[in-house]
Structure 1
Amino acid sequence: MTEKIEIPLSKNKLFLGIGGSIILVVLGIWLVINADEFQEHSMQLLRNPMVIKAAGTLAILFFGATGIYGCRKLLDKKVGLIIDSNGITDNSNASSVGLIEWNDISEIKTQQVMSTKFLLINVIDSEKHIGKAKSGLKARLMRTNMKMYGTPLSITSNTLKYDFEKLEQLIQAEFNRNKNLG
Structure 2
Amino acid sequence: MSQPIIVTSKKRHYALFGATSLLMVLLSIFCIFLYSTERQTHILSPLFIFIGILGILFFSGTFVFYTKRLLTSSSNLPPILLVDEKGIVDKSSALAIGFIPWEDISCIHLRSHINQTYISVTLKDNETYLAKMNAFQKYCSKVNLKMGFPLVNIVLTTSNQTPEEVYYAILHQYGENFTY
- Please say whether Structure 1 and Structure 2 have the same fold, judged by a TM-score greater than 0.5: yes
Map of 1:74 onto structure 2: 70
- Unaligned stretches of 5+ residues in structure 2: none
What's the Cα RMSD here?
2.7
Cα distance in structure 1, aligned partners of 2:15 and 2:82: 22
Q: Where do 1:102-181 residues align within 5 Å?
A: 102-133=102-133, 135-149=134-148, 151-179=150-178
Aligned residues: 175
Relative to the length of structure 1, the TM-score reads 0.80
Q: Is the 8 A contact 1:122 1:153 kept in 2?
A: yes
Larger radius of gyration: 1
Inter-CA distance 50–103: structure 2 relative to 1 (3 Å threshold) = closer
Q: Is the 8 A contact 1:119 1:154 kept in 2?
A: yes
* AA of the residue aligned to 2:98: G
* AA of the residue aligned to 2:162: D
Cα distance in structure 1, aligned partners of 2:129 and 2:32: 39
The counterpart of 2:55, out of the listed 53, 59, 81, is 59
* AA of the residue aligned to 1:153: V
Q: Secondary structure in 1 aligned to 2:121?
A: strand
Q: Secondary structure in 1 aligned to 2:169?
A: helix
% of aligned pairs identical?
24
Relative to the length of structure 2, the TM-score reads 0.80
Q: Secondary structure in 2 aligned to 1:165?
A: helix
Which structure has the highest helix share of the two? 1
CA apart distance, 1:63: 1.5
Q: Is the 8 A contact 1:18 1:71 kept in 2?
A: yes
Cα distance in structure 1, aligned partners of 2:177 and 2:46: 55
Map of 1:24 onto structure 2: 24
Q: Secondary structure in 2 aligned to 1:162?
A: coil
Cα distance in structure 2, aligned partners of 1:73 and 1:165: 24
CA-to-aligned-CA distance 1:67-117 (integer Å, 9 cap, x gap): 112112334522111111111111111221212222222111222211111
- Unaligned stretches of 5+ residues in structure 1: none
CA apart distance, 1:124: 1.8
